[in-house]
Amino acid sequence: ATPTAVMVATGVGANNGVLIKGGDALERAQMVKYVVFDKTGTLTQGKATVTTAKVFTGMDRGEFLTLVASAEASSEHPLAKAILQYARHFHFFDESSPNSGTQSDAKELKSGWLYDASDFSALPGRGVRCFIDGKLILVGNRKLMVESGINISMEVENFVVELEESAKTGILVAYDDVLTGALGVADPLKREAAVVIEGLQKMGVTPIMVTGDNWRTARAVAKEVGIQDVRAEVMPAGKADVIRSLQNDGSVVAMVGDGINDSPALAAADVGMAIGAGTDIAIEAADYVLMRDNLEDVITAIDLSRKTFSRIR
Ligand code: ADP
Ligand code: MG
């Protein structure tokens, strides 16, 4: 391709919200064999919503939700945002809550009702931990509970398995070393996701899903979207290893992701595509930025490269 063709393609991309960082990135996209998709916020809308919450001890439901929300208050994770929203809604808008109707301005609901949490830490791929009222609280997945020596009863296990089989993420809560409750979080697929996966397959490109979420939820989501190759329970650093193993035989690999977690994988990929508002760090690590947050632009990007480097010479 001539420099002019590259310039034209870059302009066409920009008009479609596909920002291409240089001619090399544009050239590599035509040869992509695998496109690795992050699940949360990439294939899914990233708009997690709590669909169920269950307390397994005698703890009051409102008390439980306040505790969990307080533990998640310092987390940037979409799951944390969903939990806070749910707890806030329970306390201020739910008729069955004693506090209902005490506040009407949504801005006022941001804080004031939460407990103070100390020694907060976000545990990548696991959840969060902190102390409330001097007691340890853990909010996250099975791995977090198992590693912390928390006993998971059959009742809790069954509840979580049922959530996961319906493509939801199960979040467990342990307070003062007791498994207190669990929540189910749903995050719907982007509307165009299944069509884009089918489109890539028709182009001879193999889609793969990689996620930190558990195997059961991952398989359910992959099935819904039409992806056969799934890698689940991958720690943030592990996403880059998945990319490297696919590159082993010389295959050209693209990675599509949105979050901080995805930056190492975006950087490791031959073609890194940051999607959506993304985080600055993901955008920095990527070769492409898909501004419209629409997965169709993955196809647009590959098409643009193929057209620029084969037809237009
Ligand atoms: P993904 O690859 O899907 O974006 P992450 O690596 O961010 O996932 O998280 C993996 C898993 O770790 C989540 O599915 C969840 O079980 C748990 N997790 C991470 N952060 C949190 C949090 N703030 N609260 C509860 N669970 C969390
Ligand atoms: Mg993500």
Domain boundary assignment for the chain: 3-45+189-311, 49-186
Q: Which residues lie at CB < 5 A from ion ligand 2? A: 38, 40-41, 258-259
- What is the b/e burial string over 23-58, where b = at least 16 CB atoms within 10 angstroms of the residue's CB? bebbbbbbbbbbbbbbbbbbbbbbebebeebbbbee
Closest CA to 83 of 56, 52, 106: 52
Cα 103 to middle of ligand 1, angstroms: 31
Q: For residue 213, what pLDDT is reported?
A: 92
> Of 72-81, 143-152, 268-277, which one has max mean pLDDT?
143-152
Residue from 103, 83, 82, 81 nearest 92 by CA = 103
Q: Residue whose CA is closest, atom 4 of ligand 1?
A: 40
Q: Is the CB of 236 inside a 6 Å radius of any atom of ligand 1? A: yes
Name the more confident of 296 and 312.
296
- Give residue-wise pLDDT tens across range 75-111: 988 899 999 999 999 988 766 665 554 444 444 445 6
Structure tokens at 282: 């993901």
CB 113 within 8 A of CB 100: no
Pair of tokens at residue 124:
């990548």
Interface confidence: ipTM more than 0.85: yes
Q: How far is the CA of 4 from the centre of ligand 1 (A)?
A: 44
Q: Does domain 3-45+189-311 have CATH number 3.40.50.1000?
A: yes
Ligand nearest to the CA of 215: 1
pLDDT category, 198, cuts 50, 70, 90? Answer: very high
Is the separation of the CB atoms in 262 and 239 below 8 Å? yes
Query: pTM of the full predicted structure?
Result: 0.87
pLDDT tops 60 at residue 257: yes
Among the bound ligands, the one closest to the CA of 121: 1
Average pLDDT of the residues in 33-57: 95
- Indicate which residues carry an active-site annotation: 38
269 CB within 6 A, ligand 1:
no
Tokens 């996961």 belong to residue: 164
Q: Report the relative pairing of strands 18-20 and 288-290 from DSSP bridges.
A: antiparallel
Ligand 2 centroid from CA 176, angstroms: 30
Q: Which of ligand 1's atoms lies nearest the C-alpha of 72?
A: 23
Q: Does the structure show a pLDDT above 90 at 128?
A: yes
53 and 183 Cβ atoms separated by less than 8 Å: yes
* 49-186: CATH, from 3.40.50.1220, 3.40.1110.10, 3.30.420.40, 3.40.50.300: 3.40.1110.10
Read off the DSSP letter of residue 112.
S
With a 6 A CB cut-off, is 78 part of the ligand 1 pocket? no
User: Is the pLDDT reported for residue 312 higher than 50?
Assistant: no
* pLDDT-derived band at 251, boundaries 50, 70, 90: very high
Kindly provide the residue ranges of all beta strands, DSSP E only, lying in the chain, ordered along the sequence: 18-20, 32-38, 49-55, 117-123, 127-132, 135-140, 169-175, 178-186, 206-210, 229-231, 252-257, 271-275, 288-290
Ligand 1, atom 16: closest residue by C-alpha: 141
